[in-house]
Amino acid sequence: MTQPQNPSAGDASAKAQTLIEALPYFQRYAGRSFVVKYGGNAMGDEDAAREFAEDVVLLKAVGINPVVVHGGGPQIGAMLEKLGVETQFIDGLRVTDKATAEVAEMVLSGAINKAIVGSIARAGGKAVGISGKDGGLVTARKVERTTKDPESNIERALDLGFVGEPSAVDTTIIETATAAGMIPVVAPIGSDEEGHTYNINADTMAGALAAALGAARLLLLTDVSGVLDKEGKLLTDLSPSDIAHLRADGTISGGMIPKLETCVSAVEAGCEAAVVLDGRVPHAMLLEFFTARGAGTLISAA
With a cut of 70, which residues of the chain have pLDDT below it?
Answer: 1-10, 40-44, 91-93, 148-153, 292-294, 302
pLDDT, tens only, 250-286: 888 888 888 999 999 999 999 999 999 988 888 888 8
pLDDT on residue 1: 47
Residue 162, classified by CB atoms within 10 Å of its CB into exposed (0-12), middle (13-18) or buried (19+), is buried
Residue 228, classified by CB atoms within 10 Å of its CB into exposed (0-12), middle (13-18) or buried (19+), is middle
pLDDT on residue 73: 84
Which amino acid is located at 211 in the chain?
Answer: A
> What gap in Å lies between CA 106 and CA 102, rounded to an integer?
6
The 3-state DSSP class for residue 45 equals coil
Helix ranges (DSSP H) in the chain: 7-29, 46-61, 73-83, 98-106, 113-122, 172-179, 202-213, 240-248, 256-268, 284-290
The 3-state DSSP class for residue 186 equals strand
Q: Based on C-alpha coordinates, what's the Rg of the chain? A: 21
pLDDT on residue 242: 93
Q: What are phi and psi of 31, to 5 degrees?
A: 85, -5
pLDDT on residue 255: 82
